[in-house]
Structure 1
Amino acid sequence: MPQFEVDGATLTYDDEGPRDGDGVPLVFVHGWTADRHRWDHQMAHFARRRRVVRLDLRGHGESTGSGARRIEDLAEDVVALLDHLKVERFVLVGHSMGGMISQTLALAHPERVERMVLVNSIGRMTYSRGRGLLMAVSTLVPYKLFVAANIQRAFAPGHPREEIRSYIRASAATPREVVMTLYSAMRAFDVLDRVGEIRVPTLMVHGYHDAQLPVGQMLRMAKAYPDAVIRVLDAGHELPVEKPAELTAALDRFLSS
C-alpha cells in the first residue's frame, strides 16, 4: 500500500497496470466522504491493459491530514502525487467532488489532461431544496446522523440497504473537520463560466435519479463544454457502485472512440 507525503498529509494510493499499456494512464478521483475503493470495478477492468492511478484524498479513507480549504488545494495534491509518480499526461476520471477537482486541475494544467470523465458532477454548486435544508441543520444534529442522511439519499430507490449501511459506516469514519471544511469548499466551487476553456474530449455520466446533484445541473454545465459526450444512467448519485459495469462500459467506449 504505497503512500506519499505532501503538505502535511499522507496520501494512500494505488498505481497498477502495465507502464507500456494502451494509452496514457487513467487517474481516478473519488468524491466527498468516499475513498479510492469506489473505483474497484473500474480499477480491476482497466489495470489489465493500461496504467491506472487512484488515491484517497487527504483525510479520506486510508489517507491522513486536513487543511484543504479549497477544491484547488485537493487538485494540487493530485498533481503533486502524479509528479511524484512521473505521470505527465493522463485521463482524469472524477466522481462528484472528484469531478470538481478534475475540472479545477484541467483548467490549471491543461497541457497534462488528454481526456476527462465527470461522473455525477457539476461546474457550479447549487443545492436542491432538500439538500439545502439538510446542510442548514448540519450543525444541529449528531455527526453520524448527518452523514447517514447524506449517504442514504445519494442512492436511487431500491438499492440494497445493507450495502448503503456499509457506505454510511465508511463515510462516518471521515473526520468531521474534513467533511465540514470540504462542504464549505464545494459550496464555494464555481467554474461554470470557465468550462468553455476546457478543450479536451469530455464524457459526462450522470444518474437519472441523482438527488444530490440533479441531472439538470449537469446539463446546464454540458452546454458550455465545447466537446462533451453525455450519458444518463438509471441510478442515483453513486454511479461507480450502483451501476459499476455500465459505468465501466461507458468509459471503455469513450476511451476507444
Structure 2
Amino acid sequence: MSVELNYHDTGGEGTPLVVVHGLLGSADNWRSHVRQWQARRRVVAVDLRNHGRSPHAEGMSYREMAADVLALMDRLRIDKAHLLGHSMGGKVVISLARQVPERVASLIVADIAPQAYGHDHDAVFAGLRHLERGKPENRREADALLAEHVAERATRLFLATNLERGEHGGLKLRVGLDQIEAGYRDIMQAPAGEGAFEGPTLVLRGGKSHYVPDTALANLREVLPNSRLVTLEEAGHWLHAEQPEAFQSAVEEFLDSLPD
C-alpha cells in the first residue's frame, strides 16, 4: 500500500521536474536548487516515506518507494515528468522508469549506479541512536552527541537537517529511524524492475566519490543505454551541495536539450 508523500510544488507550465532526495535527506535539502529551477519550469520536491514530513511506514524496498512517487504523480495529475534522484533517490527514479517508462520524460541520476552496494552506514545509525538517547536541548548538544560516532562535520551537519523541536522542548529526529534501519538491507539493493530504460538520461557523478566508479559503467549503460555521463571533478557524493552551480548548469543543459 502506497504512502501519501509530503511534497513541495512550485506550480508552473510544461513537463514537471520531480526531485527525489537520498537516504536521510529530504525535500528541504533541495530548496536552493528548486528556487533556481522554478524560474523556468514546474518543480515538485518530495519527501520519501520515513523522511522529512512524510508518514512513517514499514518497508523501504525500491518497488514500494517508486510506487509512492507514482501515486503522488497520479494525485497531482502529472502524466509524465522529468525525474531527478540523488543516491537512494536515484535508485527510486530508476525503479519507477523501468516499471512505467511511459510516465517518464527523462531521468537525471545523481551519483549512484543501478547496482547493490555494501553496508557502510553503521556509524551514522549509531550516532543517530546516541543522539536520540541523549535528548539534546539545542543543536550544539546534538552535534556533540553525533560527533562521538560521526567524525566528519559535513556529514553531521547533513544529519542535523533531520532535527526538529519536540512538543515538550528539546530536539528530536523526524525520520522513521526504526523503519529505515529495518529496511536498510533493501535500501542497499539494486533498483526494482527489469530490463533497460530507453529514455534520455543524464548521470552525474562526483569525481571524488566512490559510488559510480568506472567499473560500474558497463552495468549502468546496460540499464540506462541512452545515458550521458558527466563528472563533476571537484565534488564528492553530495555533488549538488558541493558544486551547486555546476550541478544546476548540467541539469539545465540536459533538460534544455529535450523537447518539452
Partner of residue 85 from structure 1, selected from 76, 99, 106: 76
Report the counterpart of residue 58 of structure 2 in structure 1: 67
C-alpha separation in 1, matches of 2:38 and 2:127? 42
Deviations, residues 182-231 of structure 1 (Å, cap 9, x unaligned):
32112232569x45x211010000111124x2433552433323211111
Report the counterpart of residue 48 of structure 1 in structure 2: 39
Q: Give the match's secondary structure for 1:41.
A: helix
Q: What code does the residue aligned with 1:24 have?
A: T
Report the counterpart of residue 98 of structure 2 in structure 1: 107
Report the counterpart of residue 246 of structure 2 in structure 1: 246
- Relative to structure 1, is the Cα distance of residues 24 and 98 closer, same or farther in structure 2, using a 3 angstrom cutoff? same
C-alpha separation in 2, matches of 1:241 and 1:51? 21
- Relative to structure 1, is the Cα distance of residues 86 and 141 closer, same or farther in structure 2, using a 3 angstrom cutoff? closer
C-alpha separation in 1, matches of 2:127 and 2:157? 21
Deviations, residues 143-186 of structure 1 (Å, cap 9, x unaligned):
34898799766xxxxxxx4x543212234722321321332112
C-alpha separation in 1, matches of 2:125 and 2:155? 23
- Relative to structure 1, is the Cα distance of residues 175 and 232 closer, same or farther in structure 2, using a 3 angstrom cutoff? same
Report the counterpart of residue 17 of structure 1 in structure 2: 11
Q: What code does the residue aligned with 2:81 have?
A: F
Contact between 1:206 and 1:232, CA under 8 Å: does it hold in 2?
A: yes
TM-score by length of 1: 0.79
Report the counterpart of residue 3 of structure 1 in structure 2: none
Q: Give the match's secondary structure for 1:64.
A: coil
How far 1:236 sits from its partner (Å)?
A: 1.1
Number of residue pairs matched by the alignment: 232
Q: What code does the residue aligned with 2:178 have?
A: E
Across the aligned residues of Structure 1 and Structure 2, the Cα RMSD in angstroms comes to 2.9
- Relative to structure 1, is the Cα distance of residues 79 and 10 closer, same or farther in structure 2, using a 3 angstrom cutoff? closer
Q: Give the match's secondary structure for 2:97.
A: helix
- Relative to structure 1, is the Cα distance of residues 105 and 177 closer, same or farther in structure 2, using a 3 angstrom cutoff? same
C-alpha separation in 2, matches of 1:139 and 1:166? 15
How far 1:17 sits from its partner (Å)?
A: 3.4
C-alpha separation in 2, matches of 1:245 and 1:139? 31
Matches within 5 A, 1:110-189: 110-127=101-118, 132=120, 135=122, 143-144=129-130, 161=153, 164-171=155-162, 173=173, 174-189=175-190
- The gaps in structure 1 that reach 5 residues or longer are 1-5, 154-160
- The gaps in structure 2 that reach 5 residues or longer are 132-144, 164-172
Report the counterpart of residue 158 of structure 1 in structure 2: none
Matched, 1:215 2:213: yes
Matches within 5 A, 1:29-44: 29-44=20-35
Between the aligned residues of both structures, percent identity stands at 28
Mean Cα deviation higher: 231-240 or 178-187: 178-187
TM-score by length of 2: 0.78
C-alpha separation in 2, matches of 1:207 and 1:190? 20
How far 1:139 sits from its partner (Å)?
A: 8.1
Report the counterpart of residue 256 of structure 1 in structure 2: 256
Contact between 2:79 and 2:103, CA under 8 Å: does it hold in 1?
A: yes
Contact between 1:123 and 1:191, CA under 8 Å: does it hold in 2?
A: no
